[in-house]
């Protein structure tokens, strides 16, 4: 449980903000560090996993919640809270709105602000120092944490993912205040819930359980070969993104036509649960095919053939493996799964035949090549990294198409194409090629080669790397 996990940390204070509105903000940590409600009169629902009736206090300009704490933090610390932004129709398009102020013993003020596009900013003296790349969504609960070591920059996490670091540290907090100090009304206002200051710098791994226990499961996204009726929703709890289950197998039934599909879900402890069987009466006598998915493998493409009904269904994974069932009648169709997503469940219209395929998807885990390319942006820059990714994909495509051609098993790092297009990856170069199944080898003459581990690399390593690169290029704008 979220609250139990919080209470087990080294709390300086914990303000659940669930009590009736009063001038006192109750500290539930037992430390007696109560906050001050500076005339914040509005309490509204904030959806969380652990408490159906959870609420949050709404910050409003000049009538906002002012939570001050007289608790000096000399060393490492973590400030965490839950927040939901609420759209305000009469808001003004302010460029940036501070909502959190950290006051140090030297009198310096450090602010966390949000922009009109709901990007988070770290500001000093009214100027943005660093801004998050991605916008947050309206009417969505987020877990936000600021984590500071004893010395060094403050890291901002949203739902357990690092989004930026401050240029300088803040290690001597004497005041924490949530308030909208501008008299103007922004486009959005935040609802705060479960604010806690911890006298330790929590790691990303320690933040993840708090996120999983607090933030409601993201809704799966429905995609169809035709526009999807809004009433079509996924009712399988195992399919939810944070259910703890992965899709471990897909089963297809077919004869002359496509007769059905079923997914199997599995936990990390190997507990398996069958998903719904979307089958016709003909499935009882049809041929069943099964594709067992490997660790880290997921369904990334769904296509088929259909006329008056579905004749064929075909799935492809990020490892480049496919399974197809059914006949060759009708015309082709594709269910457009977004880049970086994976299929988690299906829906169909059932009758004598199957029709109206719908796939429910969610963001997929990022593979090692994607992670290495993302890290390379910091040193090589976005444009150079994207160009390098395209160059690596060219080498890998040759190898994937002709895996037994030894000419594609060895890449010379000093050739002109490599030097111009791939070498700018810099320190991430070895990590990228290692994830693709290559070793860095230095020849007797000093030349460096990347050599494919044909005898030990997993059969899917190259296809998985190509999928990682395609995802990186599609998502990096």
pLDDT tens by residue, 301-319: 999 999 999 999 999 999 9
pLDDT band at 15 (very low <50, low <70, confident <90, very high): very high
Q: The whole model's pTM is what? A: 0.68
Q: What is the pLDDT of residue 22?
A: 86
Please give the domain boundaries of the chain with CATH numbers for all domains: 2-214 (2.60.120.200), 221-363 (2.100.10.30), 368-475 (1.20.58.2190)
Beta bridge partners of 195: 15
Alpha carbons 101 and 110: distance in angstroms, whole number: 6
* Cα–Cα distance for residue pair 458/413, rounded to 1 Å: 23
pLDDT band (50, 70, 90) for residue 254:
very high
Q: What is the pLDDT of residue 71?
A: 58
Half-sphere exposure of 91 (CA within 13 A, CB side): 21
Output 299 or 184, whichever has higher pLDDT. 299
The per-residue pLDDT for 202 is 94
411 or 87, higher pLDDT: 411
Identify whether the C-beta of residue 342 lies closer than 8 Å to the C-beta of residue 316. no
Q: What percent of the chain has pLDDT over 90?
A: 58
Q: For position 125, what pLDDT does the model report?
A: 66
Pairing mode, if any, of strands 258-267 and 272-274? Answer: antiparallel
68-82, 136-150, 155-169, 453-467, range with the lowest pLDDT: 68-82
Q: What is the pLDDT of residues 373-389, one digit of tens each?
A: 988 887 888 999 999 99
Position 142 pLDDT exceeds 90: yes
Name residue 177's beta-bridge partners: 101
pLDDT at residue 172, rounded to an integer = 76
């Amino acid at each position: 449980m979220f609250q139990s996990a919080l209470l087990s940390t080294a709390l300086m204070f914990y303000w659940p903000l669930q009590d009736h509105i009063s001038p006192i903000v109750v500290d539930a940590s037992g430390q007696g560090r109560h906050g001050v409600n500076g005339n914040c009169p509005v309490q509204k629902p904030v959806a969380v996993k652990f408490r159906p009736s959870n609420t949050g206090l709404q910050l409003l300009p000049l009538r906002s919640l002012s939570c001050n704490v007289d608790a000096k933090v000399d060393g490492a610390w973590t400030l965490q809270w839950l927040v939901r932004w609420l759209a305000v129709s009469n808001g003004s398009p302010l460029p940036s709105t501070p909502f959190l102020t950290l006051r140090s013993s030297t009198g310096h003020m450090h602010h966390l602000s949000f922009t009109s596009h709901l990007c988070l900013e770290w500001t000093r003296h009214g100027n943005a120092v660093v801004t998050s790349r991605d916008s947050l969504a309206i009417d969505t609960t987020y877990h936000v944490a600021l984590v500071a070591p004893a010395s060094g920059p403050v890291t901002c996490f949203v739902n357990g993912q690092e989004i930026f670091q401050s240029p300088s540290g803040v290690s001597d907090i004497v005041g924490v205040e949530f308030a909208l100090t501008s008299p103007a009304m922004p486009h959005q206002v935040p609802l705060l819930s479960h604010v806690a200051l911890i006298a330790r710098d929590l790691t990303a791994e320690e933040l993840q359980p708090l996120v999983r226990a607090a933030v409601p499961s993201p809704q799966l996204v429905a995609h169809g070969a035709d526009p999807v009726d809004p009433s079509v929703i996924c009712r399988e709890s195992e399919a939810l993104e944070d259910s703890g289950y992965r899709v471990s197998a897909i089963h297809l039934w077919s004869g002359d036509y496509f007769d059905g599909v079923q997914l199997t879900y599995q936990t990390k402890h190997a507990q398996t649960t069958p998903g719904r069987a979307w089958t016709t009466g003909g499935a009882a006598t049809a041929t069943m095919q099964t594709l067992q998915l490997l660790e880290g493998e997921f369904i990334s493409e769904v296509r088929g053939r259909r006329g008056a009904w579905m004749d064929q269904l075909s799935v492809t994974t990020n490892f480049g493996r496919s399974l197809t069932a059914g006949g060759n009648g009708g015309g082709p169709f594709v269910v457009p799964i977004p880049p970086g997503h994976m299929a988690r469940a299906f829906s169909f219209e059932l009758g004598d035949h199957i029709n109206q395929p719908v796939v429910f998807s969610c963001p997929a885990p990022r593979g090692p090549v994607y992670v290495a390319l993302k890290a390379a942006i910091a040193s090589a820059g976005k444009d150079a990294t994207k160009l390098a990714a395209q160059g690596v994909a060219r080498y890998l495509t040759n190898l994937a198409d002709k895996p037994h051609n030894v000419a594609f098993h060895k890449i010379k790092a000093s050739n002109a194409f490599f030097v111009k297009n791939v070498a700018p990856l810099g320190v991430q170069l070895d990590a990228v090629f290692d994830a693709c199944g290559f070793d860095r080898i230095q020849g007797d003459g000093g030349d460096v080669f990347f050599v494919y581990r044909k005898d030990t690399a997993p059969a899917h390593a190259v296809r998985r790397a190509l999928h990682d690169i395609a995802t990186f290029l599609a998502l990096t704008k």
